Structure 1
Amino acid sequence: MKSPIPDYLDEVVQSTADDRSGRLADYIPPLAAVEPNVGALALSTVDGTVYAVGDADLEFTIQSISKPFVYAVALAQHGIDKVLERVGVEPSGEAFHELSLESGTGRPLNPMINAGALTTHQMVGEPGITEDKRNAQVLDALSRFAGRELEVDEEIYEAEVSSAHRNHAIAYMLRSHENITGDPRAVVRGYVRQCAVRVTVCDLALMAATLAHGGVQPVTGERVIPHAVARQVLSVMTTCGMYDAAGDWLSTIGIPAKSGVSGGIIGSLPGQVGVATVSPRLDDHGTSVRGVKMFRKLSHDMGMHLMEVPAPARSMLTGDDGHAWRYELQGSINFVGMERVIRTIDEDPPEHNRIVIDLTRVHEIRKVGRRMLHEAIRRLVLEGREVEVHDPDGLLSEPGPIEVGEDPSTQEPVRVDVTGE
């Protein structure tokens, strides 16, 4: 059976394709010249399965999406208390490039605005580290989050660093408060260089999934950062990651997130998935217009809002009972649980033509789990399989035949038998 998940993700991308609102980041000449109508979406589970649709091979620069990951490196190297002495964790309510510091302390309000990101960049490495070595450490860390060796786009770097006047002003302001030491111009060069690292949506989805997985990279299995650091980063992303739109984002979408002016957005849903989108037209907050719409649809359809807390996903048992191939689901069936069921069927097709899906040990089926289960059953039936569902608690419906969709070739309803056994 072919998994329906890529089809759904493609539907999400296509549902936003006609939106031509927003504008390119025209203050960076190479970004002003990109194709404005591209769009892509990638989703990575915490066990390393990546689904990607749209222009998923497109490379673009990471920009401000680098901020939470470099913040994580500083936290891992120096500890939360030391970093908090230099950078706060309060939402600014201001644009990302605002020239402002916390009243009374002189700290940047949080590490997601440029003032905080410049400070955390300089905290990477031991005292006295050279500019080149610090830049190498930052690039190596971003590569470990992505699970592959990343590179800097030198053209973008040169274009950005030559016009980084506002960041230079912020850096000199930070130097005057001794939040950074040494040459402010070197700090700006390093920060702009971390923003110019090239990635794809698949890279970003895996980086986001590393945070969602408590700091363990899903594909390589490497613990990139401690669990406590991942929790701290996700907390700050939740309240500060979307700048002066953070409250609206949290209330409507509810996924810890970070955006960048090249059009990328990442979201990390703890314990579940990492998500990334790209589309270069930006709104007034500097965030991708289509990306916001894609995340909103995902959150609504998939029940991914952070405050909609699912019960822990549990195991699934499979086996041959002599008459049919049986899938015994257990616990709460949400997106993550059904994704594993679908992937198992897709990668290891049942040996019998007759299939029994047993819900006896399931105590809850969430909306997204029900939709995914119906679609999986529909596709199995269209393959010619005989499917029966055992649902003693009536989680799907009362006993008897139920419709799980439509046969696209005949437009006839697809039905399966549900028993109360």
Structure 2
Amino acid sequence: MKTPVADYLAHVLKQCKQNDQGALADYIPELASADPNKLALALSTIDGTSYATGDKDTEFTIQSMSKPFAYALALKHLGLESVLKKVGVEPSGEAFNQISLDAKNKIPKNPMINSGAITTHSLIHAEAGADRAETLRVFLSELAGRELEFDEQVYRSELETAFRNLSIGYMLRTVGVLDEDPVAIVHGYIKQCAIKVTVKDLAQMAGVLANGGVQAKTGKRLLSRVVVRQVLSVMMTCGMYDAAGDWLTTVGIPAKSGVAGGIIGVLPGQIGIAVFSPKLDEHGNSVRGIEIMERLSNDMGLHLMEGTPSAQTIVQRRYVVAETDGNNQTVVYELRGVLQFTESEMLLRILEDEPEGDTRIILDLTNISLLHDVGARMLFEGVNRLIEDGHTAVILDAEGILTEAQCKGRKTSVVTEPLDRYLEKQLKI
């Protein structure tokens, strides 16, 4: 059986491709020449499994999506108390490039706007004379699981039009937030934004945050849970600039955008998501990217405020019941916990290992405590694909966990009696 997750992502991309609104970031010459039709989507689960569709191998510059990771690196080396003396955590309600400081503390309001990000760049730990942007590139490469590079053309292009960021740098130096040459700091920040990534890279990076700072494929802890919590908190309230409130209510996951057209989203304990489409809205966020994230949040039940706990595993056990004539087998999957997107994706991957044949497969929901709509849809899709492979597949729902709406048009795949009674009727035992 082939998991339907990849097909679903491709479907979402196809639906959102029709949206032609927005404009390229024309204030940066290199970004103004980007292909506006590029579109890609990727997600990474907390166990390191990745899915990607569309222009998934297209490289683009990370831009402001570097900000949360630079913030994480500063927190990792200096600690929260020291960083808070230089950069606050309050939403600004202003454009990302606003030339302003917190009225009371005379420091940038948060690390996601440019004044805060330039300050954060100055806090990245580097040896004397070392390149802070290079330090961040090495860190991002470790998060992504491959060696990332700078886009020198975009870097030089942004330097040519960096007057506003230089103004911010001089302001920060004037009030004592920056202790070094503001030109060097601003140039380093611009270089940091010119690191090239794909949506697959970004999803892996977001996946590390979703996994509490641990890179699933290696098992290596790259960030502490305390640092991850701080970064995600600031992303939640400040990551989408002056559209943060609208984002919180409609999408509801910590996120960060970049003016090259990327957006990353992190649902703690579940998944990291990345989208890419270069046309931006008036806030500097990808138009198609926002639509895709809204659709994923609604379809997959990702809104953080739903507060649904996630499980590390969904299959409590798998066992075989043989018929007395020995010709066929019945396989029972005993499921436990909650069934939302993360657990459903995990279950479908497990079901992929079932070879084609005429096995009777029972998905037992008796110990499921909560079944989200997306979990039900994916569960029924899994049943359909098992049937296509030649199996007889049913969902056993003796406790009535499935709602009428979730079962609509699919009741023939649902058994409502206890497992032992069903087995007595169907099998010669």
Per the normalisation by structure 1, the TM-score is 0.94
- In structure 2, the CA distance between the partners of 1:76 and 1:349, relative to structure 1 (3 Å rule), is farther
Q: Distance in 1 between matches of 2:137 and 2:73?
A: 11
Shift of 1:125: 1.1
**1:420 pairs with 2:411:** no
**Residue 130 (structure 1) aligns with:** 129
Give the SS at the match of 2:75: helix
Amino acid at match of 2:370: E
The CA deviation string for residues 175-224 of structure 1, in whole angstroms up to 9 with x for no partner, is: 01111112111101110111000000010011111111111122232211
Q: Distance in 2 between matches of 1:230 and 1:113?
A: 19
Shift of 1:349: 3.9
Determine if contact 2:239/2:256 at 8 Å carries over to the other structure.
yes
**Residue 363 (structure 1) aligns with:** 369
1:189 paired residue among 187, 190, 204: 187
1:19-98 correspondence to structure 2 within 5 Å: 19-98=19-98
Amino acid at match of 1:130: G
Shift of 1:352: 6.1
**Residue 396 (structure 1) aligns with:** 402
Determine if contact 1:334/1:368 at 8 Å carries over to the other structure.
yes
Moved more, 181-190 or 269-278: 181-190
- In structure 2, the CA distance between the partners of 1:397 and 1:243, relative to structure 1 (3 Å rule), is closer
Determine if contact 1:42/1:50 at 8 Å carries over to the other structure.
yes
Percent identity (aligned): 51
1:199 paired residue among 191, 197, 200: 197
Paired residue total: 408
Q: Distance in 2 between matches of 1:6 and 1:167?
A: 40
1:149 paired residue among 135, 147, 150: 147
1:167-246 correspondence to structure 2 within 5 Å: 167-246=165-244
Determine if contact 1:87/1:107 at 8 Å carries over to the other structure.
yes
1:274 paired residue among 252, 272, 288: 272
1:317-336 correspondence to structure 2 within 5 Å: 317-322=317-322, 323-336=329-342
Q: Distance in 2 between matches of 1:101 and 1:8?
A: 44
Over aligned residues, Cα RMSD in angstroms?
1.6
Shift of 1:325: 1.4
Q: Distance in 1 between matches of 2:148 and 2:298?
A: 33
1:273-312 correspondence to structure 2 within 5 Å: 273-312=271-310
Shift of 1:389: 2.4
**Residue 409 (structure 1) aligns with:** none
Amino acid at match of 2:193: C
- In structure 2, the CA distance between the partners of 1:138 and 1:311, relative to structure 1 (3 Å rule), is closer
Determine if contact 1:402/1:416 at 8 Å carries over to the other structure.
no
Q: Distance in 1 between matches of 2:251 and 2:101?
A: 28
Per the normalisation by structure 2, the TM-score is 0.92
Determine if contact 1:88/1:108 at 8 Å carries over to the other structure.
yes
- In structure 2, the CA distance between the partners of 1:234 and 1:308, relative to structure 1 (3 Å rule), is same
Q: Distance in 2 between matches of 1:125 and 1:150?
A: 19
Determine if contact 1:131/1:186 at 8 Å carries over to the other structure.
no
Amino acid at match of 1:98: Q
Moved over 6 A (4+): none
Shift of 1:311: 2.9
Amino acid at match of 1:147: G
- In structure 2, the CA distance between the partners of 1:83 and 1:321, relative to structure 1 (3 Å rule), is same
